[in-house]
Structure 1
Amino acid sequence: MALATALEILCKVDDLTEMKRTSLAVRVVASTVVLSTIAISILAFVILISVQNGIKDSKLDSALSESQSSIYQTESQFSFLSTQLRGSYKLALDNVVNNFTPNNQGGSGREVILIQQNSPQGTLLKTERSTNLVSKNSIPSELRDRVRASSTLQHSYGNIISRENISPLVSVVNSPRALIIGGKVSLPTVGIYEIYFLFNIENEYETIALVRSTLLVGGLSLILLIAIIVLVVVRQVVRPVRSAAQIAEKLAAGQLEERMSTDGAEEIASLGNSFNDMANVLQEQILRLENLSRVQQRFVADVSHELRTPLTTMRMAADVLYRARDNFEPTISRSSELLLSQIDRFENMLSELLEVSRFDAGVVRLEPELLDFKVVVRRSIEALVPIAHDHQIDINVTEPEQPISVVIDPRRIDRILRNLLINAIEHGENKDIDVLISATDQSVAVSVRDFGVGLRKSELNRVFDRFWRADPARARSKGGTGLGLSIAQEDAHLHGGVIEVWGEIGKGAQFIFTFPRERGQSLRDRPIPILHIAG
């Protein structure tokens, strides 16, 4: 149970951390709260120190003034008593101290200790007096040393310590804090005494504590108020931005009718209007391109179909001329050969255009058969061996010993292999081609590797684009249309597979066709990893 609770807390912490990373509002509010906390803490600390010093300084000034006045009063009173009671100075000491006692009942106000100069700490001597049974130990030793060495009043902070547990002081507070003022007083016929006034400052400390708690509560309330205000303001700013992001995602998904609301502040409305204008322009451009694409596809399909009939007639006429070429003059005989070859070329181009139109129309269907993939690859290679030999190229094949039984459309697989092999032959610069066949329990792959001109990195993502050719001038001389690799990739997708490519200038190129063994399955592994070929 405890473990489950701990895991739930950790998940919530992770959620908050992730929210902080991703939410602009959370980051702004958190930053504002942290900075506000630092600023308010510094301000509260300065105010607290100022108030505390002000209260203590005010109390000290008042205590010094009152103590000096009391010392003068004591000297005057003792001088008067000394002329009347010279034989009983102890009684005179009692009378002097008793003058301070009536207003100090209950442990509040001012206490007085009158002790002989240089007397030891501890118990009061018979000639020493204090109000309300205050102990001589209430006076710090360092304060007594300063009083003896100076003729002015000295002060320190300590506690009022009672000589007995039954003292009235104990019933109020145990050893209350006090401001202690000390000085020397000259008593005629008696000598020099030390007099100490102990001012109870518990009320002052309570005031300081009240100020501290007030600053704490006020600071926390102010931080909370700032956080709420910032959150409200940020939400007002972030809401249209978030709305713009959501609408942008819908636009990217094809929902071109989505628009931002233009209500609200002037800046937000301006943002909405600008965004909507951009969306309108994008929608117009996309619709225009879609219409253009449909017109282009329809044109290609119509032209391809319309050219079929005259091309068939031309083909029949060219075949007749070609079969009778031996009866013609050499020039006419050669022309009949060129005519037939160009008609073959034109027929191939027309077939590619028709295939592209079928892909665009979505009417392509597979005709699957259970075959040995190695046999299909071998058959495609054998058909192109004469062309490879014309370029002084050998095709080297590496394959596993066991048969690779797969369900495929042999015509489309053959077209994929022919396109890859012809591409390697045309760009192989008369260097041999390596064909690698590999398979796992889930996938089958074939790799065609040439060592010719290679491909630039910028070209790797374009080799499967329609009508794209790495070297247009060279492609035209060889009769290429730029559709072969595009059609091969479409055929690969029909089998649930993909063709991947690697290339480097001067090192050649490698195309890897990978597809799952079972129809309908996703491609889960790569028998020939794409990274492997980079080595």
Structure 2
Amino acid sequence: MSVFLLLFLPTAWLMDRLVVSHTYQQKHKEMNELALHFVSMIHNDTLLKMDALETMADFTRVTLFVLDSQGKVTATSKHHHEIDPVFLTEEYVRTLQAGNQLEKNITIDNVSYTLTGVPMITNGSLQGSIVILNSLTDTEEMLQSHRQILYLAVIAIMSAAAGIIYWLSRRISRPMRQMADATRAIAEGQLETRVEVLSDDEVGSLAYAINHMAEELKRYRDSRNEFIANISHELKTPVTYLEGYAQVIQQEWYETEEEKQQYIGIIADEAKRLNRIIQDLFDLTKMEEGQLSLLPEQVDMNTICQSSLLKVQHKAEQKGLQLQISAAESHPYIWGDPVRLEQIMLNLLDNAIRYTKAGDVSIRVTTGTEQIRISIIDTGQGIPPDELSNVFERFYRVEKSRSRQYGGSGLGLAIVAKLVDMHQGTIDVQSQESIGTTCTITFPRLLT
């Protein structure tokens, strides 16, 4: 409202000044034209009597003074004899004697007049001057009437503006207060709190953003709680094995050396599993904090895929699975970190082998003009359609009741998604239950 008044009131004042100035200019212009007309009448008829001038002055409602070349008043319109020509100061007379016109606003007996003087010059010689006084009483009354209308308009506009501003401020502040209350509730952990979205404007957009924030916080909290439960179990299981079998060996509760070696093997396997969980957590934390750096170079994805298959071949043979690769005909070069690219492939192949009971796991590498596509295809149990959108989330497990028997920490695919993104790539999963799953990675192709 202060800004509105700061802009509007000076504008209203300026409009009033412009109207007053224009009105006075018009009045001076009219009087000047009338004075010139009187001078013209005298020049055209040197025998023109004062009666004719007085009649003209009376008709135009002005007071007429005729001055000689010395500045002395020689004639005055009859019905205005009460006005003393004392207002004709020496300065005004000198102006007229110098052959210059005179335009002034003066006050006589608390009445405002326009003073207009025009010299009468014949053949370059000053013969006298015509001076006209015109009362501004009617003009001032008219201006006052217009000013009152302007004041009423200003008051009406200010009242309307105040009402609109009050309504708008209430309309904006009410949802803002609701959002402030909701934000405080969310900060206190009440993540089910939602703000009612009442509009499509900026306020509505803010309300939507707060609701979205609450949903994301709730999802993150639920994911975190699930992670704590999962990771606690994942860590507790190998630690329990390590503690139990270490105690068996320490107390020599075994009967044969072969049994002892079996227990030592279990301890080694569980230590590896524990180390893998910890390493996955460490890698994911560094990626999310932007602290994991890549060492990029020109990489042939045919080579990465072949070396990854060799590393998982023994695990696949133990389950009786066939491994196949369909390499690209031309060298599919990309710009990336070979160690991290192999980590992507090993994680995906490990997942495919873990969830495939029979059949085969294959890799298909194809090249396009600007992209390279790597597909990992298995004949495993598949993923339910409603679970597909969540498989790359941290700590997410498909078929949670059976996931422990397959091992893993629930972090592998989250790490894969992060590493693919760091290589400016994309990953997509297509799956059908009881038929199999296809993971497709797309990388920008490096043209050589």
Q: TM-score, normalised by structure 2?
A: 0.47
Structure showing the higher strand proportion among its residues: 2
Q: Structure 1 length as normaliser, TM-score?
A: 0.40
